Amino acid sequence: MNKNAAAFVAKSTIKAQDLDHRRKINFNIGKYNAAVPKGQHQFPDLMSVREKAKNIKWRAIEHLDTLLEQFEKQITARGAKVIWAENANDALAAIEEICKAKNCTSVVKSKSMVTEEIHLNHFLESKGIESVETDLGEYIQQLDGEPPYHIVTPAMHKSKEDVAKLFANKLGVPGGLTPAEITQIARAKLREKYTAAQIGVTGANFILADIGGIALTENEGNARLTTAWPKTHIAIVGIEKVLPSVNDLPLFWPLLASYGTGQQVTVYNSIITGPKQPHEANGPEEMYVILLDNGRTHLLANSKSREALYCIRCGACLNACPVYKNIGGHSYNTTYSGPIGSVITPHLKGMQEYQHLSFASSLCGNCTQVCPVHINLHELLLENRYESVLEGNSSLTERLAWKAWKTASLHRKMMNLGNGTLKNKIVNQLFKKWSQHRTPLQFADKTFNELWQQQTPQNPS
pLDDT tens digits, one per residue of 39-68: 999 999 999 999 999 999 999 999 999 999
Q: What is the pTM of this model?
A: 0.91
Work out the end-to-end distance of the chain between its first and last CA atoms, rounded to an integer number of angstroms.
58
Q: What is the mean pLDDT of the chain?
A: 94
- pLDDT number for residue 459: 61
Average the pLDDT over each of 123-132, 206-215, 440-449 and give the range with the smallest value. Answer: 440-449
Considering only 27-36, 37-46, 391-400, 428-437, which range has the smallest mean pLDDT? Answer: 428-437
Cβ pair 349, 334 in contact under 8 A: yes
Indicate the residue type of 123.
F
The pLDDT of residue 206 is above 90: yes
Q: How sure is the predictor about 231, in pLDDT bands with cuts at 50, 70 and 90? A: very high
- Coil, strand, or helix at residue 236? strand
Q: Does 239 have pLDDT greater than 60? A: yes
User: Is residue 458 scored above 80 in pLDDT?
Assistant: no
Q: List all residues 6 or more positions away from 19 whose beta carbon is below 8 Å from its beta carbon.
A: none
Mean pLDDT over residues 19-39, rounded? Answer: 94
Residue range 280-324, pLDDT digits in tens: 888 899 999 999 999 999 999 999 999 999 999 999 999 999 999
Please state, for a pLDDT cut of 70, what percent of the chain lies above it: 99
pLDDT of 344 above 90 = yes
pLDDT surpassing 60 at residue 460: no
Question: Which residues have C-beta within 8 Å of that of residue 430, sequence separation ≥ 6?
Answer: 401
Largest CA distance in the chain: 99
| Secondary structure in 3-state letters for 84-96 | EECCHHHHHHHHH
- With a pLDDT cut of 90, the percent of the chain lying above it is 82
Q: Is the predicted pLDDT of residue 97 greater than 80, yes or no?
A: yes
CB-based contact 32:319 (threshold 8 Å): yes
Contact 349, 328 (CB under 8 A): no
- Torsions phi, psi of 218, nearest 5? -160, 170
State the CB neighbour count (10 A cutoff) for residue 138: 23
Q: What's the number of CA atoms in the CB half-sphere (13 Å) around residue 242?
A: 27
